[in-house]
Every structure is written in structure tokens, then in C-alpha cells.
Amino acid sequence: METFKAHLDKFIKIDDEEFSSIFSYFQILDVKKKHNLMLEGEICRYKYFVLEGCLRKFFINEKGVEQTTEFAIENWWISDTFAFEKQIKTEFNIQAVEKSSVVMIDFKSQEKLFEKHPIMERYFRITYQRAYAAAERRIRFLHEMSREEMYVHFSSQYPWFIQRIPQYLIASFLGFTPEYLSEIRAKLRS
């Protein structure tokens, strides 16, 4: 709970009493590694804030290969935003990469939260703007950088991911096969 409060304090000003009211709209969930929080074809019921651990969002492509599109570590949100906001079936899966503890909110609770605490709309606007800007940069990198440059950029920007996340998931996120990622890493070491 303190982790979530500290995170909110970076974006909005609320006192402890208001935080207690805000937090009452959320649920805490602890999940084991590889636990699926959302499966393709289900209605996207929740958005998740990671207190501890790591989640990933992925889809299974036409060749049956998992393609990771997003990670969420401590203090990051993850959901299928489009499906959540429309309350429709998702085309993604969300799975715990590590044993994780998350705070989650469903759509109806979010709407009630916004009515009672309009400051939370400001908070989510700011976080969505930042996420959108990051997505725009990633799209540009996909078009401008070679695969090797993308790996070097990713590993220099997020060195903790390289140590923490299994290499096959990093390869999936960057659009590589695990074998190709191994080749790039071997080339960079020599």
C-alpha cells in the first residue's frame, strides 16, 4: 500500500485520508510465476499496477509463437487499454514473469473512483501520456534501428531487464528469436 501511495505522490497531491478512500477501489492480488492474469478472448476486466515482481503482455502470432509487446515491473501499469476501456474481448494475454504482487481495478470501480476522486483522472491522464510517448519512441526505434542497435539501446536503457528477465522473453519483446539474440550478444562480447 505504501508503494502505491508513494507512486501516486509523484503525480498528484493527496492526503492519507483521501488515499485510504482511493485505495478502497482497488484489490490486491498475489500471483505465482507463469500465472495468467488475462487470456486472449476474455473480456479485459482489469488494469494492473505492479507492487512487486514483473508481468508481461503478449499475443500468439499466426506461427504459434509468443510475441511479447510489453513488460511491467514495480510501479508500472499493464492492461489491454483499448479492450479495458471498451469492455470488450482482448487479443492479448497477461502473465506473471516472476512471483508478483499487484493492485488491480475493474472498469466499474474505476468509473466510481473518478466520480469520487477526480484527481485520479489527472493521475491516469499523466500516466497514459507518458505511456503513449514511450510507445511512439519504440515505434520509431523499430523503424530506424538495426536489430543489433535495438538490443544495445534496450540493454543500455534498461540494464536491470537484461539481468532480471529471461533472455527468450527479451528476444520476444525485441522481435528476435532467442538464437539470434545469442548471436548478437556473442558478437558484442568479442
172 and 122 in a common domain: no
Task: Check if the beta carbon of residue 123 is closer than 8 Å to that of residue 12.
Answer: yes
Domain count within the chain: 2
- What is the domain range of residue 183? 145-190
Lowest mean pLDDT among 36-45, 93-102, 177-186: 177-186
Among the three residues 86, 104, 134, which one is the final residue of a domain in this structure? Answer: 134
160 and 117 in a common domain: no
Domain assignment of residue 140, yes or no:
no
pTM: 0.92
Residues 24-82 have pLDDT tens digits of 999 999 999 999 999 999 999 999 999 999 999 999 999 999 999 999 999 999 999 99
The packing angle between helices 107-116 and 119-144, to 10°, is 130
Which pLDDT belongs to residue 100? 98
19 and 91 in a common domain: yes
Among the three residues 134, 162, 178, which one is the final residue of a domain in this structure? Answer: 134
Task: Check if the beta carbon of residue 49 is closer than 8 Å to that of residue 101.
Answer: no
Domain assignment of residue 8, yes or no:
yes
162 and 112 in a common domain: no
CA distance 66 to 1: 33
| CATH code for the domain of 123 | 2.60.120.10
CA distance 37 to 27: 13
Residues 6+ apart with CB under 8 A from 59: 40, 66, 67, 69, 91, 92, 93
pLDDT of 160 higher than 90: no
36 and 94 in a common domain: yes
CA distance 96 to 93: 10
Q: Which of 157, 153, 169 is CA-nearest to residue 55?
A: 169
Mean pLDDT of the residues in the chain: 94
162 and 91 in a common domain: no
Which pLDDT belongs to residue 185? 86
87 and 48 in a common domain: yes
Domain assignment of residue 139, yes or no:
no
Domain assignment of residue 124, yes or no:
yes
178 and 125 in a common domain: no
* E strand residue ranges, the chain: 27-31, 36-38, 46-52, 55-60, 66-72, 77-78, 93-96, 100-106
103 and 35 in a common domain: yes
